[in-house]
Structure 1
Amino acid sequence: MVVEEMSAGGIVSKVATEVSPSVVGITNLSLDGNLFDRDYTETTGSGVIIDEEGYIVTNNHVVKNADRLIVTLADGNEEDAAVIGTDARTDLALIKIKVDNYVTPAEFGNSDRLVVGQGVVAIGNPLGLRFARSVTSGVVSGLNRLLTTEEGFAFRLIQTDAAINPGNSGGALVDLEGKLIGINTIKIAAQGYEGMGFSIPSNQVRRVVDDLKKYGKVRRPLLGIRILGEISQGEADLKDLKQCCGVIVEPIIGGTAYKAGIRSRDIIIQVDGEQVKTALELEEKITSKAVGETVSIVIARLPFIGEGQVQVKTIKVKLSE
């Protein structure tokens, strides 16, 4: 698609035509009531077909507690779906339908290449299946927006001014080439962020989906520590640390960090040569690695009162699951 040669409206229309067949409606039916008077509670959301085998990515909260999932395709046909795996931490889920005929998968784009101000299109089912595959357009308003879910998980999202409403959750955010660059989530957007839409970056989606396909869960590498706190610039100066900031940790006895030599109240200041200032930065750097990978951790160890100087050590730690 040659974007420069088309009007803004023409671009959005072309993108919508190309991508809409990949967006599905999802109906979540969950049983409630007592044993003798049971009925279904029905909620709806969206999903995106990601391959010709019938795999669909959506939000975890869209499929949560489902006794039955019904997927409505672009042609109106309905298929029951099975849950392959879910990940509450990223609010993502992978489901699958039986494919009798050809389905149109979305093509993943590279969310790391997004820039603020770039045009985007959101496609989903706002307010239920009556408005299936509705299209809104806007721009990327922000990147790496740090937000926290109801479960207390913090992660970074794409912010957009394209309208994302109830029912849009699990729908597609695409660039003006029609590439999938995010999965929309209303769950986070609804928590006091009026007028803002948020999407889970496609590169993160791909990593989660790959694990859900292989293992039915996300395999996250663990360092084997507990976080005790963070060291600010002022505290670093007081403690005579040559490098600003860091994360105070407690190794889990018998864990990989403990076996490697990390001790209580050590301050992690680098991971694989990159400075660590906050607990979130430490978590992101570790979770970007693979289970079984060995990482180089630089720690600062404070001396006991009246005993010597701050020790700086490099410790190799093999990440566990």
Structure 2
Amino acid sequence: MKKIIGVILSALLFGLVAGGMMVGVNYIAQERNIYSILRDSGVENPEAMLSSPSVMPETEKSTQASENTVTASSQGSEKTVAEVAKEAMPSVVAITNMMRYQQNGFSIFGEVQKETELPASGSGVIVGQNDTELLIATNNHVIQDSNSLTVSFIDESTANAQVKGTDATVDLALVSVKLSDISPETREKIKAIKVGSSDDMEVGDPVVAIGNALGYGQSVTSGIISAKNRDVQTKEGVSKGLIQTDAAINPGNSGGALLNMQGELIGINVAKYADTDVEGMGYSIPSSAAEGILSSLSNLTTRDKVPEGEQGVLGVQVKDIDAQTAESFAMPKGIYIFKVLEDTGAENSAIQERDIITKLDGQGVYTTADLKSLLSKYRAGEEVRLTLMRQDGSGKYNEMEVKVVLGKASALSGNTGNNGNAPSQNGGQGNQNTPEETEPSTENGNGSTGEENPFKSFQDFFNEYKR
């Protein structure tokens, strides 16, 4: 019995000694391997370094702290919807447009026309200022046909505004408010929006929309980028390259801000798809497309409307080429010149019949109404730049720019006063659905003599055009 116990104890002792030796050997081998690695890395005294009990825990803490910093930085780059809204609200304004509204009716004396004013609501985004003005971006359809414009800021104070420049071809406008008309208290509460890159946005990225929905004041909606580079058919033609979002865009949101989650402006809200079978399809003009146009408009001089008798004219008769007509006859959309008039005082020899006007002083125009609205702010004798599309010998249209000195409206005889500039009859809150276009205008163009249009039908017009 004693021998058996002795053998067992000897075996246990041998096992303990052998195990301890193996652990020691492994530890020494691992330590020497660490020493070797550290020496190869240029550490002069790895033994002293590893002998400090605080080194490894601090290294682990440092690594963990670094990971925490990266995580916090990543999370901090995007804000919550509430944070984005709070930061952007001082940059978003409400715009009230007193629109001219012409109503046709009948009386015992026959047909009568009555012109009244109706308020329409839209939105705008503060994008900068110059020495004397605050500059606000919005949609062209928000401010068109206006008799007066009023802007409301975040503190509910208001100021009168003027249209600084427009580009009807992309439905953008720049509105200015005199800094002298804004109180110091309000100026401390408002700020220009930071513009981001719409090109960097991807489908699925979250966005926030802010605007004056239904004219009730600023409201916030959120969603995602549903699609990019959408071409959307509107009543004025095809709007190209828009951002599609499922963030609610309601009447009155036109001209408002579409923001990324850093609070940067990546779009100007322009329209929604309205149909009983459609849900959540809103559209915005990308900041990448709007920024250059707004920058160009900001360089224009803000003009007041000139008394009618002093307004300048181009001295031409024109016809609108709408989107459908342009597509049917392979023509650029714009304002077709079918007659250059004499004896208006306009120095317009650089214009040719069959030219198509697309811009005046860099401001895009589609219709006679657009052109007349711009020219109403120019006096006779002023020089303007016209951007034209002109055919070469092969039938190809080329863009060119010419200068015209405006003539006098008073030099025109028999002017009917009807220049195709009748106001829209669909007031509403800065309507997302732009006024329905009529057929290409056969009314008198700017500088018209009031003569009857020589083309009795569109087919006659284009038969003449093709000759």
- Answer whether TM exceeds 0.5 for this pair: yes
Matched, 1:63 2:143: yes
1:110 deviates by 0.7
Q: Deviations over 1:55-96 (max 9, x none)?
A: 000011100100000000111110110001111111111000
**SS of equivalent to 2:193:** coil
1:221 deviates by 7.8
Q: Which residue of 2 aligns with 1:293?
A: none
Paired residue total: 228
**SS of equivalent to 2:298:** helix
Matched, 1:92 2:176: no
Cα 1:55–1:2 shift into 2, 3 Å: farther
Q: Which residue of 2 aligns with 1:274?
A: none
Matched, 1:25 2:110: no
AA matched with 2:262: E
Q: Is the 8 A contact 1:26 1:44 kept in 2?
A: yes
1:225 deviates by 5.2
Q: Which residue of 1 aligns with 2:454?
A: none
Query: Which structure 1 residue ranges, 5 or more long, are not aligned?
Result: 227-248, 258-321
**Alpha-carbon distance in 2 for matches of 1:109, 1:5:** 17
**Alpha-carbon distance in 2 for matches of 1:23, 1:75:** 11
**Alpha-carbon distance in 1 for matches of 2:256, 2:171:** 13
AA matched with 1:178: G
Q: 2:219 aligns with which of 109, 125, 134?
A: 134
Matched, 1:182 2:267: yes
**SS of equivalent to 1:250:** coil
Q: Deviations over 1:230-288 (max 9, x none)?
A: xxxxxxxxxxxxxxxxxxx8325xx579xxxxxxxxxxxxxxxxxxxxxxxxxxxxxxx
| Correspondences of 1:96-107 after superposition (within 5 Å) | 96-99=176-179, 100=182, 101=184, 102=187, 103-107=190-194
Q: Which residue of 2 aligns with 1:148?
A: 233
Q: Is the 8 A contact 2:245 2:280 kept in 1?
A: no
**Alpha-carbon distance in 2 for matches of 1:51, 1:160:** 26
AA matched with 2:289: Q
Q: Which range is displaced more, 45-54 or 20-29?
A: 45-54
TM-score, normalised relative to structure 1: 0.64
Larger Rg: 2
Q: 1:197 aligns with which of 282, 289, 298?
A: 282
Q: Is the 8 A contact 1:81 1:98 kept in 2?
A: yes
**Alpha-carbon distance in 1 for matches of 2:114, 2:236:** 32
Q: 2:121 aligns with which of 44, 47, 54?
A: 44
Q: Which residue of 2 aligns with 1:118?
A: 205
Q: Which has the higher helix share?
A: 2
Q: Which has the higher strand share?
A: 1
Q: 1:207 aligns with which of 292, 306, 309?
A: 292
Q: Which residue of 1 aligns with 2:81?
A: 12
**SS of equivalent to 2:85:** helix
Q: Is the 8 A contact 2:231 2:238 kept in 1?
A: no
**SS of equivalent to 1:127:** helix
Q: Which range is displaced more, 177-186 or 47-56?
A: 47-56
Q: Is the 8 A contact 2:135 2:298 kept in 1?
A: no
AA matched with 1:206: E
Q: Deviations over 1:189-223 (max 9, x none)?
A: 34785420110000111111122122464379877
Q: Deviations over 1:28-52 (max 9, x none)?
A: 0024469997642110000000114
Cα 1:2–1:45 shift into 2, 3 Å: farther
Q: Which residue of 2 aligns with 1:73?
A: 153
**Aligned-residue CA RMSD in angstroms?**
3.0
Q: Is the 8 A contact 1:126 1:134 kept in 2?
A: yes
Cα 1:78–1:3 shift into 2, 3 Å: farther
AA matched with 2:283: F
**SS of equivalent to 1:185:** strand
**SS of equivalent to 1:51:** strand
Cα 1:42–1:224 shift into 2, 3 Å: same
Q: Which range is displaced more, 147-156 or 62-71?
A: 147-156
Query: Which structure 2 residue ranges, 5 or more long, are not aligned?
Result: 1-71, 104-111, 301-360, 365-385, 401-467
AA matched with 1:143: K
Identity of counterpart residues, as a percentage? 41
Cα 1:155–1:16 shift into 2, 3 Å: same
Q: Which residue of 2 aligns with 1:243?
A: none
1:224 deviates by 4.9
**Alpha-carbon distance in 1 for matches of 2:101, 2:389:** 41
Q: Which range is displaced more, 204-213 or 30-39?
A: 30-39
**Alpha-carbon distance in 1 for matches of 2:92, 2:101:** 29
**SS of equivalent to 1:173:** strand
1:123 deviates by 0.4
Q: Is the 8 A contact 2:230 2:244 kept in 1?
A: yes
**Alpha-carbon distance in 2 for matches of 1:143, 1:45:** 24
